[in-house]
Amino acid sequence: MNTILQLHQLDKKYGNIHAVNQLSFRLERGNVYGILGPNGSGKSTTLGMLLNVVNPTSGSFQWFNGKISTHEALKKIGAIIERPNFYPYMTARQNLELVCKIKEVSFSKIDEKLILVNLFERKNDRFSTYSLGMKQRLAIASALLNDPEILILDEPTNGLDPKGIQDIRSIIKLISQQGTTILLASHLLDEVEKVCSHVVVLQKGKKLYEGRTEQMTQSFGMIEIKTDKTFEEISKLLQNYSGIDKITNEPDYVLCYLNQDIDSALLNKFLTEKNILVSHLRKTKPTLEQRFLDLTE
Ligand code: ATP
């Protein structure tokens, strides 16, 4: 069985705030999962519950098919859910040696992980001299020292400059190519789209979507039509046209939402044959942001 984690109606209330609302989803080995949602949608609370630092109000979750205790499962998980913090006066290598001692891992892993996050050349520099991006990369190296089956990251690129963001995203891809499952929380649609194969969209603690990332953002688009007829006449005529899902009246045109890929030339021909004068017909695709807003609205 390839299931790494299963959530069953996991729920967290802070007084009147329903931070996580009956959340269920499943993670399969080898994928990169994103928990996507605006600020306050319950991402960090969810990760906190999965890592045993927040107590659920109700519901449950099972790591690795429930065959081992959560305490044992945590040893197979690498997680960064806070800003990276190491001893500033110690070098990167010394900091990782300390982590190895705590995790009871051989020092031999250190160079391998420093190479992976591209910090090998800087391993003898003090942590205090590191940029924010380097600190985050060191935190990833540290979380990987015990070769976890899954790496959990909360907003991994927060506060980084474009180069730092790109570095982290490339490292995440590299780690996943090596077979490690990844679960990251992000409020950035663009980040999830670029990095994650699968996504769980949260809003106010509730799951809105779960599935492959490209399916969330897939759309057949829309067609704008301007004619000499009224909205009522056009919508009556097109209500049964195959491929048109919904028709709305916009200030400058009638907007047809598509549920399959239709040929705009054929639609034009159809309208012309009905003696309709078409002055504007244009096929458009909604932006990714629009798709996300549609989903979260
Ligand atoms: P962000 O990206 O801003 O961190 P998030 O999606 O991670 O947001 P959470 O931090 O999980 O969301 O917060 C979900 C809700 O629970 C918010 O309304 C938040 O104010 C509330 N919350 C989180 N932690 C606590 C707490 N310890 N006590 C009270 N309310 C909390």
* pLDDT averaged over every residue in the chain: 91
Q: Mean of the pLDDT values across residues 49-74? A: 90
Q: Mean of the pLDDT values across residues 229-256? A: 92
Question: Which range scores top for mean pLDDT: 57-61, 77-81, 218-222, 247-251?
Answer: 57-61
12 lines ligand 1 (CB under 6 A): no
CA of 16 to the centre of ligand 1 (A): 12
Going by pLDDT thresholds of 50, 70 and 90, the confidence category of residue 236 is very high
What sign does the dihedral 176-179-184-188 (CA atoms) show?
A: positive
- Residue 30: per-residue pLDDT: 93
* Percent composition of the chain: helix, strand, coil (DSSP 3-state, to 5): 35, 30, 35
pLDDT tops 70 at residue 75: yes
19 lines ligand 1 (CB under 6 A): yes
41 lines ligand 1 (CB under 6 A): yes
CA of 43 to the centre of ligand 1 (A): 8
Which of 17, 39, 57, 207 should be mutated for ligand 1, with most atoms under 8 A from CB? Answer: 17
Residue span(s) of the chain under CATH 3.40.50.300 come to 3-216
Going by pLDDT thresholds of 50, 70 and 90, the confidence category of residue 217 is low
Q: Write down the CATH superfamily of domain 3-216.
A: P-loop containing nucleotide triphosphate hydrolases (3.40.50.300)
Structure confidence by residue, pLDDT tens digits, 62-71: 999 888 888 8
Going by pLDDT thresholds of 50, 70 and 90, the confidence category of residue 218 is low
CA of 40 to the centre of ligand 1 (A): 5
- Residue 85: per-residue pLDDT: 80
- SS3 category, 104: coil
Residue span(s) of the chain under CATH 3.30.70 come to 222-296
78 lines ligand 1 (CB under 6 A): no
Interhelix angle 162-177/132-144, nearest 10 degrees? 10
Structure confidence by residue, pLDDT tens digits, 157-212: 998 999 999 999 999 999 999 999 999 999 988 899 889 999 999 989 999 888 88
45 lines ligand 1 (CB under 6 A): yes
17 lines ligand 1 (CB under 6 A): yes
What sign does the dihedral 258-261-265-269 (CA atoms) show?
A: negative
Report the distance separating Cα 31 and Cα 180, nearest Å.
8
Ligand 1 atom closest to residue 46's alpha carbon, by position in its atom list:
11
Report the distance separating Cα 180 and Cα 151, nearest Å.
7
CATH of domain 222-296: 3.30.70
Interhelix angle 92-103/109-116, nearest 10 degrees? 120
- Residue 260: per-residue pLDDT: 86
